[in-house]
Structure 1
Amino acid sequence: MAMSEDPVREWILTEGKATQITKSTPVGGGCINLATRYDTDVGPFFVKTNRRVDESMFEGEALGLKLMYETYTIRVPKPFKVGSLPRGGSYIIMEFIEFGAARSGQPALGRKLAEMHKAGKSEKGFGFDVDNTIGSTPQVNTWTSDWIQFYAEHRLGYQLKLARDQFGDSSIYEKGQRLAKNLAPLFENVVIEPCLLHGDLWSGNVTYDKNGEPVILDPACYYGHNEAEFGMSWCAGFGSSFYNSYFEVMPKQPGFENRRDLYMLYHYLNHYNLFGSSYRSSALSIIEDYLRMLKI
């Protein structure tokens, strides 16, 4: 294929400083994108492509990776280039990280994640400069000065409307909206700062480099309440050593335990909207528990 018709190879052989691509090998990259390792004389590159979406999805990912990378805390792949494919779709080129055994384990993951939250702050409020995706679901990141409003509208509200529109689920929509409009009691005496969040932190997006240090991948970044980072804890495997190390850097705030399910709710709703009814009962159970707790 001519270089002009292959922008990935063209970038690697010009701006990427390589003079030769020795081979390209498909690698695991999740269920949404095609992932390829390009081996070159200046080292490997990692490339994700998607023939069905424009470059805006990868632009959101690249911005998140760049901002996390620039905190110089936890390791993430450095993004290099986002662009369009000539026959439709888009690509992102980034640093290839060699994975290894998890020698540092959960204590290091908790500590470095907290360091990222502490370093990555925004003066604009809660949100992000671009909308992005959580899985393949659009994630609205309109800047908002109030966290409770942001979470109620752009996280819970968006997912509840999607469930109503996709499945005609007026029950979960109405109960969820009652909860979303009455979140304030869960945040009494809590200081909420806009922290840079990975946004989709589950076990599949956490790995370790060849030195055994934690690496986080495939973000859905935005600036939000740091506790929202634990919303995927039901499939992340965070243990006590993770939380102990995290809270040494970012101290636990009053009512943390009462908010944990609230942040899981967003991801259960998203899984319901992405994968169907098997996640509905978990989402509805959380909503109903909070309605009883808050007496609303």
Structure 2
Amino acid sequence: MWKLIADIIAKNNQQPFEDAQHTMLSSGGENRLAYKFFNQHQAYFVKLAPKHKLDQLTAEVDCLAHLREINRELIPKVIGIDVTLDKSFLVLPWLDFTQPSDDNWYQLGIALAKLHKNSSNGQFGWDQDNFIGDTLQPNQWSSNWSTFFAEKRISWQLQLLSEKSVNFGDIDYLSQVCHDLLCHHKVSPSLVHGDLWHGNVGFVDGQPLMFDPACYFADREVDIAMTELFGSFPDAFYQGYQQTLPLDEGFEQRKHLYNLYHVLNHANMFGGIYIKQAQALLQRIIAQHENL
């Protein structure tokens, strides 16, 4: 397999990639392995997964390609993707991250705002389903944001949880709650990263980078909301964003609903404390609905 990966790198660079070695960086079990693959002159990041997970890697490549068309400096280039008899893999450049300054975070905020200015002719969704973590993310197009988010994000996650005997109440009712909270929010579709937290951004010599996307056309606030979910980004990031593309009134209320999607997804993937967190967040959102 490593010979195949080396050949892909060599073809991409139009020069040999020889005498390479690999080091495991992290393991998410058999479904997710990460390696550094390097020689004296070059280094690459390799994601390794079972062969049947190729669709996840392919979806990631699709998202990266769309984002890179808009900002080549913000998004890493895909070196290659392929399969062996029992494995699938994705090859990306190796990134030597450096400590960012406030100005670097400010520039990331500006870059995200410019990304969000890309629209989709009034439709929410994506041209194919993709993945949020290991969970399928349905993206069938819809002209109505509140319907799309209630059905394709919240109801979908609740249904997956119910199949694991985790129930938070009547799914149709909870979907209606979500719809009601969003139906008066006038929003245009924006291209979003879709999984924007600290672990999916980095900086190399001051240049901001984003990776591991789960793109679709959505309310741009879903990205900003998620940056606050697992520990907020520095203030400079929000200053750069707001000065380029100010958030609409009511974001502070909507962000809890938007982050419910990611908490439910974590409950689906990991269970445990995330189930309790989802329950508490749902109760908060239901209380919001009762106060309409």
TM-score interval, normalised by the smaller of the two chains: 0.7 to 0.9
Q: Which structure 2 residue ranges, 5 or more long, are not aligned? A: none
Checking the alignment, whether the CA contact within 8 Å between 1:231 and 1:266 is kept in structure 2 is: no
CA offsets per residue over residues 185-234 of structure 1, 9 Å max, x none? 551xx3x222221111111112111x122211211111111001134222
User: TM-score scaled by structure 1?
Assistant: 0.87
Residue 156 (structure 2) aligns with: 158
- Kindly report which structure 2 residues correspond to 1:103-114, keeping only aligned pairs within 5 A, or say none: 103=101, 104-114=103-113
Deviations 1:94-127 (A, max 9, x none): 2332221213343222121112212x32237211
Q: Distance in 1 between matches of 2:192 and 2:73?
A: 12
Q: Which residue number in structure 2 is paired with residue 218 of structure 1?
A: 212
> Percent of aligned pairs with the same residue?
29
Quote the offset at 1:146 in angstroms. 1.6
Partner residue, 2:48: 49
Q: Separation in 1 of the partners of 2:18 and 2:249?
A: 54
Contact 1:76 1:216 survives alignment (8 Å): yes
The match for 2:8 is 11
Q: Residues 238-268 of structure 1, C-alpha deviation per residue, up to 9 Å, x if partnerless?
A: 2433222111111121211111101111011
The 8 Å contact of residues 201 and 219 in structure 1, kept in 2 or not, is answered as yes
From the superposition, tell whether residues 147 and 34 of structure 1 become closer, same or farther in structure 2 (CA, over 3 Å).
same
Aligned length: 287
Q: Which moved more, 1:273-282 or 1:132-141?
A: 273-282
Change over 3 Å in CA distance of 1:206–1:127 after alignment to 2: same
Aligned mates of 2:72, 2:5 — CA distance in 1: 29
| Alpha-carbon distance between aligned partners in 2 of 1:57 and 1:253, rounded to the nearest angstrom | 33
Segments of 4+ moved more than 6 angstroms: none
CA distance in 2, matches of 1:12, 1:253: 45
TM-score (norm 2): 0.88
Counterpart Cα distance in 1 of 2:19 and 2:215: 34
Stretches of structure 1 lacking an aligned partner (at least 5 in a row): none
Q: Alignment partner for residue 274 of structure 1, among 236, 250, 269? A: 269
**8 Å CA contact 1:163, 1:173 repeated in 2:** no
Label 1:111 to 1:268 Cα distance change in 2 as closer, same or farther (>3 A).
same
**Which aligned pairs between 1:126-275 and structure 2 lie closer than 5 A?**
126-171=124-169, 173=171, 176-185=174-183, 187=185, 190=186, 192-209=187-204, 211-232=205-226, 233-275=228-270
User: Contact 1:230–1:263 at 8 Å: present in 2 too?
Assistant: no
